Amino acid sequence: MPASRSSCASSVAGSRVSTRTIWSQARRCSGVSQRGVFEAGVTPPIYLTLEPIAPSLRTESSNLNYLEAVMRVAIIGAGNVGAGLAEAATTAGHEVTVVAAHQENAVEVAGNVGAKAAATAAEAAQGADVVVLAVPAGAAAGVLREVKGAGAVVVDATNPLNDTFSDLTTGGTSHAEQLAAGAPGVKLVKAFNTVFASRLGAPSEDGRPLDGFYAGDDDAAKQVAADLLASLGFRPVDAGSLRMARSLEELAFLNISLNARNGWTWQSGWRLAGPTA
């Protein structure tokens, strides 16, 4: 039986411990790790066949000073990204609500990590500081229509891959820009799309955080995305205006293509080297 969400969160927030310790605690609290991606009878595309990174590969991260900044995070989608983000965000001490197309999937993920499950995207977004779109790109515009009334910052984590994962579908623009154009007034930030789901709970390599790129046109909204990235242990990197979402979507596509082409393990992440500060 999982421990209560509040008891797990308070015991994490009350101590300065390593990421690995927090992961152990999260597993003890939740009882189960990231939702399996190999559902019975389903052969997912290779991009989706992501395994959580081995605990032995996880390294220290610099996120612990963010534990006091609790955010209300609504995650739309309970698949690889939704489940991984829900686990990482609850581990960081955030209040997380998850929703899926099929409510039982949201209930399962939420139960595993100590989050709440909502019945609809609109319900999940109500009262949230940030709503993360972790759904297939084709579903994102509809979800955005459901959540935009809540007024939260919307983080678009989607990648607009075609059916064969051989190209993006956007041709000269970005999915984030298309979403923003269809939802005037929504504070939309592109973020998390360059991070493989396997890395959401393992945001560092060789003791240094991976880069979490984000782009958008609203500075306050971008700060929310940056804070969320940092709280999970990533180094937030401001890529510029929403125009730069085109680059971030291509960056994600590059990592996907490299893994597919080279038979890598879908655990590579981005980090700029050299003087970047």
Note the residues at the interface with ligand NAP (CB under 6 A): 48, 50, 76-82, 99-102, 105, 121, 134-137, 139, 142-143, 157-159, 161, 193, 195-197
Query: Of 92, 35, 100, which is closest to residue 68 (Cα–Cα)?
Result: 92
**Distance (Å, whole) CA 96 – CA 192:** 16
Axis crossing angle, helix 5-13 with helix 80-91, rounded to the nearest 10: 60
CB of 271 to ligand NAP, least distance (A): 16
CB of 161 to ligand NAP, least distance (A): 6
SS3 56: helix
CB of 275 to ligand NAP, least distance (A): 28
Are 143 and 135 in contact by the 8 Å Cβ rule? The answer is yes
**Between vectors from CA 204 to CA 202 and to CA 205, what angle results, nearest 5°?**
115
CB of 113 to ligand NAP, least distance (A): 14
Question: In terms of CB distance, is 23 or 266 closer to ligand NAP?
Answer: 266
Shortest-Cβ-distance residue relative to ligand NAP: 79
* Residue given tokens 């605690």 in the structure block: 25
> What are the CB-based long-range contacts (under 8 Å, 24+) for 206-211?
206/59, 207/59, 207/60, 208/271, 209/61, 209/62, 209/233, 209/234, 209/235, 209/271, 210/234, 210/235, 210/269, 210/270, 210/271, 211/235, 211/237, 211/269, 211/270, 211/271, 211/272
User: Which run of H or E residues covers position 106?
Assistant: helix 103-113
Question: In terms of CB distance, is 50 or 88 closer to ligand NAP?
Answer: 50
Question: In terms of CB distance, is 67 or 225 closer to ligand NAP?
Answer: 225
CB of 276 to ligand NAP, least distance (A): 22
CB of 208 to ligand NAP, least distance (A): 21
Count CB-CB contacts under 10 A for residue 8.
21
Question: In terms of CB distance, is 101 or 260 closer to ligand NAP?
Answer: 101
Question: In terms of CB distance, is 145 or 243 closer to ligand NAP?
Answer: 145
**What token pair was written down for 230?**
């940092």
* Partners of residue 98 on adjacent β-strands: 75, 117
CB of 63 to ligand NAP, least distance (A): 19
Question: In terms of CB distance, is 67 or 100 closer to ligand NAP?
Answer: 100
Question: In terms of CB distance, is 91 or 259 closer to ligand NAP?
Answer: 259
CB of 7 to ligand NAP, least distance (A): 27
**Between vectors from CA 64 to CA 63 and to CA 68, what angle results, nearest 5°?**
110
Question: In terms of CB distance, is 64 or 198 closer to ligand NAP?
Answer: 198
User: Which run of H or E residues covers position 5?
Assistant: helix 5-13
